[in-house]
Amino acid sequence: MRAIMVMFDTLTRGYLSNYGNKWVKTPNFQRLQNRCTRFDKFYGGSMPCIPARRDLQTGTYNFLHRSWGPLEPFDFSVVEELKSKGVYTHLCTDHSHYFEDGGATYHNRFNTWEGFRGQEGDRWTPQSYGQLPSNRSPRAKNGISAIQHYANITRMQKEQDMSSVQTFNAGLEFIEKHSGTDNWFLQIETFAPHEPFYVPQKYRDMYDQKGDVYFNWPAYGPIDSSDKSNQNDLVQLRKEYAALITMCDNYLGKVLDMMDNNSMWEDTMLIINTDHGFLLGEHDFLGKNFPPMYDEVIHTPFFLHLPGLSTKEYGHLAQTTDIAPTLLDFFGLDIPDCVTGKSLVKAVRENEPIHESILFGIHGGHVNITDGQYTFMKANVNEDNQPYVECTLMPTKMRGYFSLDELKSAKLVEGDRHSNGIPYLKYQTKTYMDSKQFGDLLFSNDDIFQQDNITDCLLREKYSKMLKNKMEIYDAPIEEFIRIGF
């Protein structure tokens, strides 16, 4: 048995033809319809990038206890388990957050890994090598990461030099070399189509994007999408994003070709997934972290090929935490109790549901639940969004450590389900998140654009109780219940 996972970053469901898009060119994603089961109710769990990857490796939620951080010493890792049971694991990636303080424990779980430099604000090329262009939208991102990006792309002027292309080519080389061998798992993980939407001109030409790039990296925040000047910017931004998705589609096609040419569909599982989507003016926002976890962000595309299964759609709830148990199940390994996700193998083969409801969210933001009929989002109740705690034995953030004041607040607490019974440190910290400004939200899942916030008190009470019960099941810290008013 072999398994391949092709993971994209920031792949918005509504930009794929499989989910109804009519203008973005994704012929190879469309090819998946011939081989894979398309999931219609697949959701992320913990936001954003690295928290989603902890969900993926551990098979349980990160966001109730932790913001951005590495795998913990007490965590179960599906990759480590595969490796220990004799399944060869290999990672090809240009996701630079793996190489930072806040993510440095993930890629090392693999037998071997290849990393390619230069995406986004990867501290790679000397910053003096690049400069911000003068002709940029006032909505474009500024700051040190933007400066770093323009330095990095001085080394990626040709398509073959781009880190995402190198990532795919490394994965293709692995598949070609190992197509005749058994018992391996390959993760091809590209940072694309995450912003900045930097893409070779030939893909921009497909969307009539001529001349210098004006707007391909939005600063996160609100935007009045009804303003005509903003509308023009959004048209440009969406086209740049579409062009990068089309480039991703091109390299996905090479993976599918490789599987075709080597007759791999009969014995190789294929997973196509992403961590989250992106708001490009929807709900009058740009980005993914600050506003509520609207469908455009958290309701993600997902495709699964199981050998021997005819193509169909899966219309039941599933999410990122289900990937780890699915891999274990596929390779015939036991699923430990600490994995709270559910295997999709039997569920897809028999088209049966595995979840009555699921949670999702970002640490310090709304805590959310959906049962497939309604989605309820519970906001913090205090102006300072306190009490707010980080539960960890690895006090690091994206590119650094907790502050000295944060470290001084540490208290050792008893282990729980989250920590597999191992005592851990609880830190009193602060967050930039504030969901109180949006309040509690309740949407019918028939309201696909989530425009009608339902105020029915009885319905809200029902979903509040459902959410509270679910948080108790996952041993959410007491501070998290208090923070959102439970």
- pLDDT (tens, 9 = 90+) of the chain, 486 residues, equals 999 999 999 999 999 999 999 999 999 999 999 999 999 999 999 999 999 999 999 999 999 999 999 999 999 999 999 999 999 999 999 999 999 999 999 999 999 999 999 999 999 999 999 889 988 999 999 999 999 999 999 999 999 999 999 999 999 999 999 999 999 999 999 999 999 999 999 999 999 999 999 999 999 999 998 998 899 999 999 999 999 999 999 999 999 999 999 999 999 999 999 999 999 999 999 999 999 999 999 999 999 999 998 779 999 999 999 999 999 999 999 999 999 999 999 999 999 999 999 999 999 999 999 999 999 999 999 999 999 999 999 999 999 999 999 999 999 999 998 999 999 999 999 999 999 999 999 999 999 999 999 999 999 999 999 999 999 999 999 999 999 999
**Side chain identity at 469, as an amino acid letter?**
N
**Side chain identity at 447, as an amino acid letter?**
D
- The whole-angstrom separation of Cα 463 and Cα 19 is 28
- The whole-angstrom separation of Cα 230 and Cα 242 is 18
In this structure, what token pair is assigned to residue 137?
């939208």
- What's the predicted TM-score (pTM) here? 0.97
**Side chain identity at 240, as an amino acid letter?**
E
Where are the domains positioned within the chain? 2-356, 359-483
Per CATH, the homologous superfamily of domain 2-356 is Alkaline Phosphatase, subunit A (3.40.720.10)
Of 420, 361, 434, whose CA–CA distance to 391 is shortest? 420
Of 28, 9, 187, 29, whose CA–CA distance to 96 is shortest? 9
**Which residues make Cβ contacts (< 8 Å) with residue 29, sequence separation at least 6?**
16, 17, 18, 249, 252, 272
> Rounded to a whole number, what is the largest CA-CA distance in the chain?
60
Identify the helix (H) or strand (E) that includes residue 187. strand 184-189
Residue holding tokens 């707010």?
Answer: 388
- The whole-angstrom separation of Cα 31 and Cα 20 is 14
Identify the helix (H) or strand (E) that includes residue 325. helix 323-330
